[in-house]
């Protein structure tokens, strides 16, 4: 059911689009239409939108569209876009950085270092936004988002704002569970003063290493599966002889086995079927159940 939009909501400053193709907004470059697509002007505008249009239809939040597969049948509900919109990034106190949900994680990494702090290098390797990083405890290069969280700001379905703290969440590897019915719209992070130039150099070296080992020139979602305990998903997938394995236009990357790339004409169904094939093969050959890191939403067309 489409979210009921109040046509008299003249005070809404953001942009509302209908039947928006999600292939334009995901890093895999696939996905059907979203019934409703909202681009808020700021957090206050978003709170008003939620308050004026609250009902039981589904709401999906999208940043850079990485780590996300939207099925070919599209989305029945409303997509709220944060990337480039909820984009405030500022120093609010000694060693405290505030970033809104739509700020790209690499931007946070550089901002922190350029302002004379250190410890943000891992953010440079997260191909998403702060909102997504908070929602899944995203990490890279040995660091994780919630290791730096001081507090978060959330909105609920009625547009009410909340300030929450780490002890209100159950945080684990790529998993965050907290108060139900709330979404992250900003976070405050603590970094210690240090050698920002050294941090930037380390960032550059880490990114050069990553780009040498990952298919950064092809549409993908980043890592498809979580690493199992004491092992690596990529090693298991490669050991099963799956590098280069294709389903339609989707292929297991020859460069990094935990990446599935769109070779140019993949459908969301191709990608989903390839994910399932990889997981089944690893389970059969290695006895290990791979847990999917990529989120799959929307309706199937098949």
Q: Write out pLDDT tens, residues 82-131.
A: 998 999 999 998 889 999 999 999 999 999 999 999 999 999 999 899 99
Domain boundary (180, 212, 244) is at: 212
pLDDT at position 143 over 80: yes
144 is catalytic: no
The pLDDT of residue 278 is 98
Residues 31, 107: one domain?
Answer: no
The pLDDT of residue 149 is 98
126 inside domain: yes
The pLDDT of residue 280 is 98
62: domain CATH number is 3.30.43.10
pLDDT at position 141 over 90: no
Kindly give, in sequence order, each residue whose CB lies less than 8 Å from that of residue 296, ignoring residues fewer than 6 positions away. 69, 71, 272
Instruction: Choose, from 220, 223, 251, 253, the residue flagged as catalytic.
Output: 223
Domain boundary (170, 188, 212) is at: 212
pLDDT at position 3 over 80: no
Instruction: Choose, from 164, 174, 210, 235, the residue flagged as catalytic.
Output: 174
The pLDDT of residue 6 is 54
The pLDDT of residue 11 is 86
**Average pLDDT of 271-299?**
97
127: domain CATH number is 3.30.465.10
pTM: 0.89
The pLDDT of residue 10 is 61
2 inside domain: no
131 inside domain: yes
- Give the closest residue to 298 by CA, choosing from 129, 134, 78: 78
Residues 158, 173: one domain?
Answer: yes
Domain housing 46? 15-81
pLDDT tens readout for residues 217-273: 899 999 999 999 999 999 999 999 999 999 999 999 999 999 999 999 999 999 999
3 inside domain: no
Residues 200, 121: one domain?
Answer: yes
pLDDT at position 2 over 60: no
Domain boundary (81, 102, 128) is at: 81
pLDDT at position 286 over 50: yes
pLDDT tens readout for residues 164-204: 999 999 999 889 999 999 999 999 999 999 999 999 999 99
Spell out a b/e string for 254-282, using b for 16 or more CB atoms within 10 Å of the CB, else e.
Answer: eebbbbbbbeeebbbbbbbebbeebbebb
The pLDDT of residue 92 is 93
226 is catalytic: no
Instruction: Choose, from 118, 121, 153, 293, the residue flagged as catalytic.
Output: 293
Domain count, the chain: 3
Residues 113, 202: one domain?
Answer: yes
10 inside domain: no
Residues 116, 188: one domain?
Answer: yes
pLDDT tens readout for residues 46-88: 999 998 876 677 899 999 999 899 999 999 999 999 998 999 9
Residues 168, 232: one domain?
Answer: no
The pLDDT of residue 46 is 95
281 inside domain: yes
pLDDT band for 7, please (50, 70, 90 cuts): very low
The pLDDT of residue 93 is 87
The pLDDT of residue 277 is 98
Residues 231, 251: one domain?
Answer: yes
Give CA–CA dist 176/243, Å, rounded: 31
Residues 207, 227: one domain?
Answer: no
The pLDDT of residue 256 is 97
293 is catalytic: yes
Residues 94, 183: one domain?
Answer: yes
């Amino acid at each position: 059911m489409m979210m009921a939009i109040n046509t008299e909501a003249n005070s809404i400053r953001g942009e509302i689009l209908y039947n928006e193709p999600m292939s334009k907004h995901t890093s895999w470059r696939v996905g059907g239409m979203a019934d409703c697509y909202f681009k808020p002007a700021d957090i206050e505008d978003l709170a008003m939108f939620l308050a004026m249009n609250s009902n039981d239809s589904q709401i999906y939040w999208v940043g850079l569209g990485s780590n996300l597969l939207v099925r070919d049948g599209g989305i029945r509900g409303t997509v709220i876009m944060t990337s480039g919109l909820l984009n405030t990034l500022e120093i609010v106190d000694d060693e405290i950085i505030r970033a809104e949900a739509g700020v790209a994680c690499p931007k946070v990494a550089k901002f922190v270092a350029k302002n004379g702090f250190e410890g943000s290098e891992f953010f440079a390797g997260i191909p998403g936004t702060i909102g997504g990083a908070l929602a899944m405890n995203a990490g890279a290069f040995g660091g994780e988002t919630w290791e730096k969280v001081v507090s978060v700001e959330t909105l609920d379905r009625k547009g009410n704002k909340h300030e929450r703290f780490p002890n209100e969440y159950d945080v684990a590897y790529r998993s965050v569970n907290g108060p139900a019915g709330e979404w992250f719209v900003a976070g405050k992070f603590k970094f210690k003063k240090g050698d920002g130039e050294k941090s930037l150099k380390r960032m550059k070296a880490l990114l050069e290493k990553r780009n040498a080992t990952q298919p950064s020139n092809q549409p993908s979602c980043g890592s498809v599966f979580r690493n199992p305990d004491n092992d690596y998903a990529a090693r298991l997938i490669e050991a099963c002889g799956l590098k280069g394995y294709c389903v339609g236009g989707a292929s297991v990357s020859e460069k990094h086995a935990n990446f599935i790339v769109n070779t140019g004409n993949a459908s969301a169904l191709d990608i989903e079927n390839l994910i399932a094939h990889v997981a089944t093969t690893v389970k059969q050959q290695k006895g290990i159940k791979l847990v999917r890191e990529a989120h799959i939403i929307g309706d199937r067309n098949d």
